[in-house]
Amino acid sequence: MKLNLTPLFAALLLAGCASVGSVDPARLPQPPAAYKTTGASDAPALTETWWQPFADPVLDDLVARALSANTSVQAAASRLAQARAALGSAQADRLPQVGATAGAGRSSTPGQLVPQPATQYSAGLNLAYELDLGGRLLQARNAAALDVQAREQLLADARLLVQANVARGYLALRALDAERDIVRSTVAAYADTLALTEKRARAGDVADLDLARVRAELAANEAEALALDRRRVELETALAVLLGEPASGFQLAPTAWTTALPTVPAGLPSELLQRRPDLAAARSQLEAARARVGEARAAWWPSLSLTAQGGGVSNELSNLLKSGASTWGVGLLGALPLFDGGRREAGVNAAQAQLDGSVIAFREQFLLALKDVEDQLGALALLQAQGEANARAVAAAGQALKLSDTRYRNGLVSQLELLDARRSELANRRAALQVRSAQYQATVGLIRALGGGWRDESVRLAAGRR
């Protein structure tokens, strides 16, 4: 299939007028027709509320709280406000500057035998306007406007990152709660086995070594449960920071993990990558660098300013605004530096170097974005197969444990066989849970890599609540 450069890249290839920096098209990356893991298809409709298909009210609430109070989002909004203020300053430079003056002074007239001090009053309006011959002010204004666009996109990226981190943290917490339940149920099973073993030891049916083995297994699993509790505290406090709330006052009660897992459409077109806000910000920064090359080149043009002033001067304040006291003047001021020691050439070189750096940064950002998408798509495909294998392993290990427990209680197998079957069953259940958790994390990672979620008739929630 023949590839056409998308609007994301086409704007970067236009060199514009001769006063604006140009970009070699060969230095810019081109989007692929499709990702390696999926085939090409029509782009599904986009949705900004990408977390809603997870169908979890607690997640919805956490995301809303984070967007309203997260400090990273607030800092990005502050930087956007600064960029907008800088744009206002650049726009003001292109407009006439009007000012009012007023003054009063007392002085004597030289040459008189007896100097007579006199008071003189003045008032007037001044106007100055720079003719933008080389387009320097226009390019500065364009660069500032592109800086605003970049800051808007970086704010969107900050919001998306916070949303994704909240979702990842919450889903990791729910997965950890499920794992804690598994380990605690195993602790209870070991406690039951210990009670049976102690009963047999008192009857003289088992050796002290068997009793010590069960006690060791019970203690080891109790320690593992405590380690998971510690990890939960860390995840909970990390969520509090994302929500912009004090960790000491934040608590998320354990509950059943019923979050739905959205399915990924069979084919994701590479055009979805274009809406990544960090890529859009890098593009705006590149275009701003191009505009600043034009601004630096315009410094070679002469500057030409129109000035005008009008007002009045009088020894009497009451006569200040009368026609006899009025003064006015109009002027045209031009300037052209003949020798600046290479300052303007250095400015052009610096702006061009900044443009070259922006091209490199954009290319790197694009390649990393493409890698993120491919990583998550590949992970989802492999995790699906891994999850199916883990499910078979859990079923087999559960059957083996059930048989071993029955035979041990009837005295048909040794304690070692029972302990080994329980360790295998626990390991397989935890592994299956970790794979399930990884599927959720990879789904969120893919959404983050694509710049948001998707909505299409082919998208369905996973069958049932997992």
Q: Tell me, what's the pLDDT at 439? A: 94
Please check whether residue 199 is in contact with residue 212, taking contact to mean a CB–CB distance below 8 angstroms.
no
Helix or strand (DSSP H, E) at 332: strand 326-335
CA distance 425 to 428: 5
Q: Tell me, what's the pLDDT at 22? A: 61
Q: Tell me, what's the pLDDT at 399? A: 94
Give me the CATH topology for the region 7-94+135-299+347-455.
Outer membrane efflux proteins (OEP) (1.20.1600)
Q: What is the pTM of this model?
A: 0.80
CA distances from 355 to 21, 149, 276, 301 (A): 8, 17, 21, 21
Q: How many CB atoms lie within 10 A of CB 212?
A: 11
* Burial class of residue 249 in the structure, from the number of CB atoms within 10 Å of its CB (0-12 exposed, 13-18 middle, 19+ buried): exposed
In 3D space, the residue among 21, 13, 18 whose CA is nearest the CA of residue 352 turns out to be: 21
Identity of the residue numbered 394: V
CA distance 336 to 344: 12
Q: Tell me, what's the pLDDT at 110? A: 62
Q: How many CB atoms lie within 10 A of CB 49?
A: 12
CA distance 417 to 264: 43
Identity of the residue numbered 63: V
In 3D space, the residue among 10, 12, 77, 20 whose CA is nearest the CA of residue 362 turns out to be: 12
Identity of the residue numbered 416: L
In 3D space, the residue among 136, 125, 124, 129 whose CA is nearest the CA of residue 97 turns out to be: 129
In 3D space, the residue among 365, 397, 209, 227 whose CA is nearest the CA of residue 286 turns out to be: 365
Per-residue pLDDT of the chain (466 residues; tens, 9 = 90+): 333 434 444 433 333 334 555 666 666 666 665 566 654 344 444 467 889 889 999 999 999 999 999 999 999 999 999 999 999 999 998 888 888 887 777 776 665 555 667 777 777 788 888 888 888 889 999 999 999 999 999 999 999 999 999 999 999 999 999 999 999 999 998 898 888 888 888 888 778 888 898 899 999 999 999 999 999 999 999 999 999 999 998 999 998 899 999 887 766 666 667 778 999 899 999 999 999 999 899 888 888 888 888 776 666 666 666 655 567 778 788 777 788 888 889 999 999 999 999 999 999 999 898 898 889 988 998 999 999 999 999 999 999 999 998 888 887 887 788 888 988 999 999 999 999 999 999 999 998 988 887 654 333 333 333 3
Q: Residue for token digits 């007392």?
A: 106
CA distances from 22 to 11, 145, 174, 294, 356 (A): 11, 19, 51, 10, 10
Tokens at residue 156, please? 């969107």
* CB-facing half-sphere around the CA of 350: CA atoms within 13 A: 8
Q: Tell me, what's the pLDDT at 339? A: 83
Tokens at residue 18, please? 């001769």
DSSP annotation string for 43-109: PPEEES-TTGGG--HHHHHHHHHHHHH-HHHHHHHHHHHHHHHHHHHHHHTTS-EEEEEEEEEEE--
Q: Tell me, what's the pLDDT at 285? A: 92
DSSP lists the bridge partners of residue 305 as 130, 333
Please check whether residue 391 is in contact with residue 431, taking contact to mean a CB–CB distance below 8 angstroms.
no
Query: How close are the terminal C-alpha atoms of the chain, in Å?
Result: 40
